[in-house]
Amino acid sequence: EPFLAKHAVSTVVAAQASLPFALAVAAVQGKVDVDSFTEETVADPVIQGLIPKTAVYQDTELMAKVKGSMPSRVTVTTTDGRELSAEVLYPKGNPSNRLTEDEFRGKFMNMVVRVLGEEQATELYDLARGLDGIEDVGELMALVSPRR
């Protein structure tokens, strides 16, 4: 079984290396982010029930369509036999499909607020986004650890 195609998911670490788990979470929760990788989510019977219904494989024809990207295609077969498919050649965040400023800030804040708090995370983000105007990188570095 290829590394990222693992269907046996019983721990958070295993979930982090499983596309079937991520696809099941996306189907159930509508998104996948750092908060999706918890013991509760791993143990969710609905998610666990969807994992064995997924198949992951590398499509060499799809990969050949683009350079510098990891394209993907998802096909869902409904209970009445219809196939619904979507293809993404350049995933969000790829240089050819950049995040908007709001999306970028949202991802940053989602990860950093939990460590630094809202005020310091905002200060760090704003300073880092203006990095070319910083004379002393020590100003930035002073913000990367929680204040005491």
pLDDT tens for 12-41 read 999 999 999 999 999 999 999 999 999 999
Helix (H, G, I), strand (E, B) or coil at 33: coil
pLDDT band, very low/low/confident/very high, at 5 (cuts 50, 70, 90): confident
The runs of H, that is alpha helices, within the chain are 12-16, 19-29, 39-43, 45-50, 60-64, 101-116, 118-129, 138-141
Give the tens place of pLDDT for each residue, 48-104. Answer: 999 999 999 889 999 999 999 999 999 999 999 999 999 999 999 999 999 999 999
Q: Is the pTM of this model over 0.85?
A: no
pLDDT at 73: 95
- Mean predicted confidence (pLDDT) in 121-148: 93
| Pair of tokens at residue 50 | 């969807």
Tokens of 127: 């300073």
Please, what is the end-to-end C-alpha distance for the chain in angstroms? Answer: 47
Better pLDDT: 97 or 1: 97
Bridge-partner residues for 87, per DSSP? 73
**Residue positions counted in the chain:** 148
- pLDDT at 142 (0 to 100): 94
105, pLDDT greater than 70: yes
85-89: long-range pairs with CB below 8 Å, 24+: 87/62, 89/65
* pLDDT of the residue at 40: 97
